[in-house]
Amino acid sequence: MRVGIEVGGTFTDLVTFDGAKGTVAKVPSTPKSPDIGAFNALEAGGIPPAQVTDLVHGSTIATNAILERRGAKVAFVTTRGFRDILFLQRHDRRSIYDLRYAKPAPPVRRRDTYEVTERIDARGDVVLPLDITEVKRDLLPALAAGGYEAVALCLLSSYVSPKHEAELAALITASLPNIRVAASHVIAPEFREFERASTTLLSAYVQPVIDSYLDRFESRLKGGGFAGHFSVMQSNGGRLPAIAMRRNAISALFSGPAAGLVGAIRQAGCSGRGDLITFDMGGTSTDVSLVRGGEPALTPETEVDGLPIRTPVLDIVSVGAGGGSLVWIDDGGMLRVGPRSAGADPGPACYGRGGTAPTITDAHVVRGTIRPESFLGGSMKLDAEAARRSFQEIAKRLGTDVNGAAVAAIRLGVANIVRAIQIVSTERGRDPRDYALLPFGGAGPLLAAEIADELGIREILVPPNPGVISAQGLLAADYVKVYGVTRRLQFDAAAPEALREEHAHFRAIAEKEFRELGLAGPLEFQLEVDMRFVGQAFEIPVTIADRDLPTLTSEALHHAFVEAHRRVYLHGGEPGRRAEIVSLRLLVRSRLDTLPNLGERMVDLERPKQAPVNISGTETQSAAIVNAAHLTEGRTVSGPTLIEGYSSTVWLPETWTATRDAAGNLHVRKDAA
């Protein structure tokens, strides 16, 4: 029995597969104790922990700890003279017209930052040895007296030579075993001091939170008789055993969105589709990504709450436009959607849990694209009158009625998502009309046709059980780990051989670590090299397939770099300009079998043949109602139609048709004009 559990901001999703059949379930999340929601999902699915052999988990624990500043009390230790690196940051100004602008505050006070005497230069040579006497006399007593749960170490040039940092980490661990230590040469061994320091600090900040959460989770699993394999999703689209997450918690920041993207790609691949624009619209946000050839793009850096994090993540753009996003009017009288959310508690007004503010979900209930009696297959009844009441004040201020206000909110939500899709497509030189739109999440298929209309996209691919694709993606994810290091190499005839040596070095480390984690089976390797022209400030990643590395020449590497540079900057640089290698990363993958198609969950619910839908705020039309589980292979329906499933509803406007294929996906197409 394989089980995937994904904890979202509003709902916790579960997907199971026992080799012959699968089940899906959704239950409300429990923000104060997310593990309770996870076990509620197991109970809703009728799955005793003792029956589970492989459990994969994804959550927003780490992200929420940073956003809500609920992490550990942490200290920061660096080389003498660099105490203020986390506060000085970069010289950029994100909001140039804001007179009250302040740089994002790191989750550590200046009084909790400490310096040690040592110095290693950029070549890795020791300039000043680590002052052990000073560490024992000053630093260790200060850390012991500070009540710290974790300490982040980021010594100058430790990415080149970790000698001093490793020595310092060993001293702290030996003297203060109850304090968790995060060292930059382990967490983010790449250059750029501020980004490396920020990443290491945030990893230390969330590590005790993750450890405590995993302890509770594993303890409850064990109490239920679980004896299987427990792994956690990472931001890079792969999973790792839970024990590995205790070494570098920062890699689990965006496990939910990453799992959704992996699940969507795997499901689309069953229909032969690899060029996709995905958007995952859940309860609190919408996550957008562009996929080419069935492979998601990785980016080496991201940020949370304005703070940079140097760790590989799937290239996903998020906007505050989820089903639970609040609809409000700003001081200038403009209608706004998000980024604030009603979350799971109290949730949208229609949930009947005490929420009174309008949300996108309430707007759908008012418009008629969500029928209160069919939500979650009828297992959760919605309060339509509460949804209408929530929009009364908005309607009054806009000078319209409740229907008009709800439709306006949905249109604004559509506009926000369209803008996010343009960021990953047109702003990067990609025409969205060349891709199929793949919506998922509980709210995604409700808006897919309207978003496609805005972008000129004529094909939409809706997976079965779209509201639980993130949980399905957990089971579809391979085991993945990324090893990165800064190695500045002049680009010359010897560069390919230097890359082969680094590749062999990290390959040996990876093979040993995967064996220790109990991950048997063949491993796949992919090398990514960060390159730039000499004098450029930032690098461009160049991917080298493992099969090409043995015969790689400097000419082939230079050609690959110039082509990558041209895609980003629209030119390949001046002829004869020297290039250099800055960093490299080795992605190691242990593949799993692709998860079989689970099919739509059957829901025994009586439905009328038609229902009214308010399209424009003033015009109401009658839409057909179709049970998604009854829409079998080869059957086609035409809009206006509501295709109601257990986890989501597909809104099919006029001029759109939907056909189920052999893989279970719905091909939604716009009629030719």
Same domain, 316 and 450: yes
Q: What pLDDT, on the 0 to 100 scale, is given for residue 8?
A: 83
Same domain, 183 and 93: yes
Asked if residue 95 is part of any domain, the answer here is yes
Residue-wise pLDDT for 286-316, tens only, equals 899 999 999 888 888 888 888 999 988 998 8
**CATH code of 191's domain:** 3.40.50
Same domain, 514 and 570: yes
Overall average pLDDT of the 384-409 stretch: 95
Domain carrying residue 442: 258-320+413-473
673 pLDDT band, cuts 50/70/90, is low
Residue-wise pLDDT for 584-616, tens only, equals 999 999 988 666 667 788 887 888 899 999 988
- 367 closest CA partner among 621, 605, 607: 621
Q: What pLDDT, on the 0 to 100 scale, is given for residue 581?
A: 93
Residue-wise pLDDT for 313-364, tens only, equals 998 888 878 888 899 999 889 999 988 888 778 889 999 989 999 999 999 9
Length reported for the chain:
673
Same domain, 309 and 436: yes
Same domain, 307 and 426: yes
Taking the alpha carbons at both ends of the chain, their separation in whole angstroms is 48
Overall average pLDDT of the 362-390 stretch: 93
Same domain, 102 and 58: no
pLDDT at 9 over 60: yes
pLDDT at 108 over 90: yes
Overall average pLDDT of the 120-129 stretch: 94
Q: What pLDDT, on the 0 to 100 scale, is given for residue 491?
A: 83
This prediction's pTM = 0.89
Same domain, 528 and 464: no
Could you say which of 590, 616, 639 is where a domain stops? 590
Could you say which of 544, 571, 590 is where a domain stops? 590
Judge whether 208 and 150 are in contact, CB under 8 Å: yes
Greater confidence, 608 or 148?
148
pLDDT at 272 over 60: yes
Same domain, 142 and 157: yes
Helix (H) or strand (E) holding 527: strand 524-533
Overall average pLDDT of the 521-546 stretch: 90
356-388 in b/e form (b: 16+ CB < 10 A) is ebbbbbbbbbbbbbbbbebbbbbeeebbbebbb
- 347 closest CA partner among 327, 326, 369, 365: 326
Same domain, 232 and 270: no
Range in 112-116, 284-288, 552-556 the model is least confident about: 284-288
Residue with tokens 């009586």: 606
Angle at 454 between CA 451 and CA 455, to 5 degrees: 90
Residue-wise pLDDT for 568-577, tens only, equals 788 888 888 8
Q: How many domains does the chain have?
A: 4
**CATH code of 301's domain:** 3.30.420.40
Q: What pLDDT, on the 0 to 100 scale, is given for residue 140?
A: 97
Residue 473 token pair: 């993606």
Q: What pLDDT, on the 0 to 100 scale, is given for residue 377?
A: 86
Greater confidence, 3 or 616?
3
Overall average pLDDT of the 642-656 stretch: 93
Overall average pLDDT of the 433-457 stretch: 95
Helix (H) or strand (E) holding 230: strand 229-233
- 236 closest CA partner among 223, 226, 251, 224: 251
Asked if residue 655 is part of any domain, the answer here is no
- Other Cβ atoms within 10 Å of 537 Cβ, number: 5
Same domain, 86 and 176: yes
Residue-wise pLDDT for 74-90, tens only, equals 999 999 999 999 999 98
